[in-house]
Amino acid sequence: MALLILDKLQKTYGQTAAVHPTDLSVDAGDFLAVLGPSGCGKTTLLRMIGGFVAPTAVRIHVGGQDVTGLPPERRPTNMVFQGYGLFPHMSVRQNIAYGPKVAGWPAAQIASAVDDMLALGQLEKFADRPVTDLSGGQRQRVALVRALILKPQVLLLDEPLGALDAALRASLQDELRQIHRQIGGTFVFVTHDQQEAMAMANRVAVMNDGRIAQVDSPQTIYGQPADPFVATFIGEAALLPVTVRQGRVRLPGGREAVVSGADGPRAVVLRPGDVAPAPAESPADLTVNVTDSVFQGGYNRLSLRTADGLLLRADVAVGVPLPAPGESIGIVLPARPLHTVKLPS
């Protein structure tokens, strides 16, 4: 049974809809990323769950309880805010102890829980420092364990790593994943960074313009995107227009390939790993012009252009002979069924 259920969650500001009617359910133990471009309504969605934005129409259930009308302080959720919202007049320890103190835990229990959290966030050395003296990464960890100490049924995180530089972000991603594994909670986090969503979450909800376009595992989102938006927002993809007849398409090179999706005009989703130069003497699926070739460390990335002007990318292993820019070459697509989406409008 789902732990968190959003039933036709919706928010409009005046005439404009920030979040269109949205259904979403999150299972206990899930690490769900809500991923979408800036302004698509992620924060609004998260704040409705936390109780900071009153929804226009809905039900929100957490653990079987309807929390729709409850103020934030009475919801079984806790939030890590964008910008953290640490109490600047308190030390690290006092920040972390705030929730238990309000809840009226006995002093000894508060002290031991705070120590546990200081250890979880590797903050023991900073326990008695004012939070204003901490670095960005340390503040982030204070905000995280301050929210975790109450053992929320759902932990909400709004762009938790958004303010940090790339290197720190990568190490905190690992830490956050570890903490999730360690305590086994249910996390819902919002991000505009697809790499971050893929790296941390076991489920990803892709949002576009106030709507959830697809909720799936990162692998499914990448391999079988539901629509052209998801296909191009998550990783690199070229959309090759085709006409599907009885589950098959005829590729320009003449091969009949099996595809997913309904009959009619569709687009095949081609990832850089799907496209390879045709081996010598074997028939090509497509003829393209090489426009660029860039060494990427572990592989070479080719930029290719079809006769119709479609741009493709192909990742080619180091050691395979490379065509030169300006050359015309044949390429092959995978033998497995190709994934299609409807044509972009």
Partner 1 sequence: MTGWPMRLARILTVASVILLVAPLVLLIVFAFTDRGLANFPFEGPSLRWWRALLEEPGLGRAVRTSLTVSLTASVLAGVVGTLAAIGLARLSARKAGIVIAVLALPIVLPPLLQAVALLAGASASGFGLGLHTVIGAHLLFTVPFVIIVVHGRLSGIDPAIEEAARDLGAGPVRVFRTVTMPLIGPSVVGAMLIAFALSIDDYVLTSFTIGGGNTLTTFVWGMMRTSASPVVNAIGTILIVVTMTAAALGLRMTRYRG
Ligand X SMILES: Nc1ncnc2c1ncn2[C@@H]1O[C@H](COP(=O)(O)OP(=O)(O)O)[C@@H](O)[C@H]1O
Footprint on this chain of ligand X (rule: CB under 6 A): 13, 18, 36, 38-44
Question: Which range in 119-127, 143-151, 194-202, 267-275 contacts partner 1 by CB under 8 A?
Answer: 143-151
Q: Using CB distances below 5 to 8 A depending on partner kind, what does residue 267 bind out of Mg ion, partner 1, ligand X, none?
A: none
Smallest distance from the beta carbon of 192 to ligand X, in angstroms? 7
63 binds partner 1 (CB under 8 A): no
Q: Which is nearer to ligand X, 80 or 268 (CB)?
A: 80
Q: Which is nearer to Mg ion, 43 or 140 (CB)?
A: 43
Q: For 48, phi and psi rounded to 5 degrees?
A: -70, -35
The Cα–Cα gap between 237 and 226 comes to 13
Inter-residue contact 288 to 312 (CB < 8 Å): yes
Q: Using CB distances below 5 to 8 A depending on partner kind, what does residue 218 bind out of ligand X, partner 1, Mg ion, none?
A: none
Smallest distance from the beta carbon of 341 to ligand X, in angstroms? 23
HSE toward the beta carbon, residue 58, CA cutoff 13 A: 29
The Cα–Cα gap between 212 and 22 comes to 7
Residues whose CB is less than 8 angstroms from the CB of residue 134 and which lie 6 or more positions away in sequence, other chains included:
92, 126, 142
The Cα–Cα gap between 218 and 203 comes to 6
43 binds Mg ion (CB under 5 A): yes
Q: Using CB distances below 5 to 8 A depending on partner kind, what does residue 32 bind out of partner 1, Mg ion, ligand X, none?
A: none
Smallest distance from the beta carbon of 84 to ligand X, in angstroms? 16
Q: Which is nearer to ligand X, 52 or 299 (CB)?
A: 52
Q: Using CB distances below 5 to 8 A depending on partner kind, what does residue 72 bind out of Mg ion, partner 1, ligand X, none?
A: partner 1
Smallest distance from the beta carbon of 99 to partner 1, in angstroms? 4
Place of tokens 């964008």: 82
The residues in 67-106 that bind partner 1, with binding defined as CB under 8 A, are 71-73, 77-79, 81-89, 98-99, 102-103
Place of tokens 């995107």: 225
Helix, strand, coil shares, percent, the chain, to 5: 30, 35, 35
Q: Using CB distances below 5 to 8 A depending on partner kind, what does residue 343 bind out of Mg ion, partner 1, ligand X, none?
A: none
Smallest distance from the beta carbon of 107 to partner 1, in angstroms? 17
Q: Which is nearer to ligand X, 8 or 101 (CB)?
A: 8
The residues in 40-59 that bind partner 1, with binding defined as CB under 8 A, are 50-52
Q: Which is nearer to ligand X, 21 or 334 (CB)?
A: 21
Smallest distance from the beta carbon of 207 to Mg ion, in angstroms? 11
Smallest distance from the beta carbon of 42 to Mg ion, in angstroms? 5
Smallest distance from the beta carbon of 184 to ligand X, in angstroms? 27
Cα-to-chain-centroid distance, residue 112: 34
Paired tokens of 205: 């909800």
**Long-range interactions of 23-30: CB distance < 8 A, separation 24+:** 23/212, 24/205, 24/212, 24/215, 26/2, 26/154, 26/186, 26/188, 26/203, 27/2, 27/3, 27/186, 28/3, 28/186, 29/184, 29/185, 29/186, 30/3, 30/186, 30/187, 30/188, 30/202, 30/203
The Cα–Cα gap between 340 and 268 comes to 4
- Residues in contact with partner 1 by CB under 8 A are 50-52, 71-73, 77-79, 81-89, 98-99, 102-103, 132, 143, 146-147, 150
